[in-house]
Amino acid sequence: MTDRVIIAGYVFEESSGEPLPYVNVYVKRTRSGTITDTAGYFMLNAKMNDTLTFSSLGYDRKYVVINDSATDNMKPLIVFLDTKIYELNSIDIIALKKYKQLEYELTNMRLPDDDYTYAARNFPFRPKDLDYYTIVNAPGFGLVFSPISALYDMFSKEGKERRKLEEIQQQDDLYNAIEQKVSKKLIMDITGLSQEEANLFIEWCNFSHDFIMKLTEYDLISVIVYKYGVYQKRYTQTER
């Protein structure tokens, strides 16, 4: 005689008596099971003395041991689940301030003379201990260590002046890169022009910054040779 049995029944909500669909019903020993249908009905195989687990989101878990009463073929197994109560910590709700008021308070706040302000005033030197900071490397920001510091950096006079200085520095770096790529020496070597004539030729070409930076060295030389040919023809025609 086998001890394997078929268990069938219904799951209901304790408070309302309504059937509960999609409840997980499984044998605790094997972790195998099924779910209830829309009428709360389930059926699965188990063994005598197995423990059935009934679980569903929002309800307390319930366990039923398979015994003679649970295997009575004349009566389905009826299970009721209690609603689970979740206790949450209290929260404080604070109304947001208007943008202009927030900007005014941030730009006029005084920060302690800690590692952050030291770093901001002595940029590009870094503070001594950065292990506990979160460093954000973003355009327009230097060393940002907290949301408050980020907001202060965004609105304060010092932050705006520093970002303007960074923009100027980026422009200077771009101009230096262009001058190195299209140097007067390169123009003079290719065309044979004097230094003064090379300056006039560069002004006449009027290359855009993006155009110069995208060209390879070979393409740049080819463009200069072509432009110089056009420049010579126009210069000769002007003299005539």
- The verdict on 9 and 77 lying in the same domain is yes
Residues 8 and 77 in one domain: yes
Render the burial of 205-224: b for 16+ CB within 10 Å, e for the rest.
Answer: bebeeeebeebeeeebeebb
Query: Do residues 77 and 105 both lie within one domain?
Result: no
Residue 153: the pLDDT is 63
Residue 111's nearest CA partner among 43, 159, 56 is: 159
Half-sphere exposure of 72 (CA within 13 A, CB side): 8
Distance CA 8, CA 79 (A): 11
Query: Which of 20, 55, 81 corresponds to the end of one domain?
Result: 81
d(CA 54, CA 21): 12
Domain residues for the domain of 68 are 4-81
Task: Work out the pLDDT band at 127, boundaries 50, 70, 90.
Answer: very low
Cβ atoms 163, 144 nearer than 8 A? no
pLDDT at 17 over 70: yes
Instruction: Give the pLDDT band (50/70/90) at residue 237.
Output: low
Instruction: Tell whether 73 and 11 lie within a shared domain.
Output: yes
Please state the rounded mean pLDDT for residues 126-135: 41
| Together in a domain, 11 and 57 | yes
Is residue 189 situated within a structural domain? yes
pLDDT of residue 65: 92
How far apart CA 117 and CA 111 sit, in angstroms, is 7
Check whether the bond before 124 is cis (ω within 30° of 0).
yes
Opening angle at CA 115, ends 112 and 116, nearest 5: 75
Q: What CATH number corresponds to the domain at position 32?
A: 2.60.40.1120
| Counted domains in the chain | 3
Does 88 reside within a domain?
no
115 shares a domain with 77: no
* Judgement on whether residues 108 and 153 belong to the same structural domain of the protein: yes
Q: Does the pLDDT value for residue 167 go beyond 70?
A: yes
